[in-house]
A and B are shown apart, each in its own frame.
Chain A
């Protein structure tokens, strides 16, 4: 079946550097893409939503200049964590929704040291 491929699955970076996370749907077109963040033992928190042809809409409290989302096409979305700090360490996961299907990516464990 259709899947969403998310890379990297795990990344460790130094404080102050930027990290790009990519999600790609392999055989369906996503009209809406979501990015979530998950803290240990906490629920998934929606960061932003992007619809086809529109810029991402960020949830309250999420810095759009820090978490850059690029909805490049109907099959590709990237999240760039700019100038990462240890408090950005978390599990980031994308969620793609098409007309009849919806899938999560596998998630990215980001550790900022």
Chain B
């Protein structure tokens, strides 16, 4: 079993839709959870950062962590074509070494 599982998609939605991206993981010791956005041929950029369980909201983005289920989610409200990118989840034990999901490729169609 992979440490971090993420459906690679691709996922295509119409503009304005709510997007739900998810990852599951096997190591219950993970404490830090992150979502990165990666545009084509660019390095990832940090979107959301969460420590332990709970929700975090930043503008149109909401990150949820459910440690009991080993499941994390990223929601994008009112999705825009500019949100089209690959979204990677990442997690770590000690805020140092990160383990990444495969990334979900999202396309938001105008």
Contacts and interface: CB of A to CB of B under 8 A. Distances in A.
A26 B4 CA distance: 32
B103 A43 contact: yes
Contacts of B99: 46
A41 B8 contact: yes
Interface in A29-60: 32, 34, 36, 41-46, 49
B60 interface: no
Nearest to A91: B41
Given A43-B6, A44-B88, A93 B43 contact: yes
B67 to A, nearest CB: 21
A110 B34 CA distance: 27
The dominant DSSP class at the A interface is strand
Contacts, number: 44
Contacts of A97: 96
A43 to B, nearest CB: 4
Contact of B44 (A41, A46, A104): A104
Interface of A: 6, 32, 34, 36, 41-46, 49, 91, 93, 95, 97, 102, 104-107, 109
Interface of B: 4, 6, 8, 36, 41-46, 88, 90, 96-103, 105
29 contacts: A34-B97, A34-B98, A36-B100, A41-B103, A41-B105, A42-B102, A43-B4, A43-B6, A43-B88, A43-B100, A43-B102, A44-B44, A44-B88, A44-B90, A44-B100, A45-B100, A46-B97, A49-B97, A91-B41, A93-B44, A95-B98, A97-B96, A102-B46, A104-B36, A104-B43, A104-B45, A106-B43, A107-B42, A107-B43
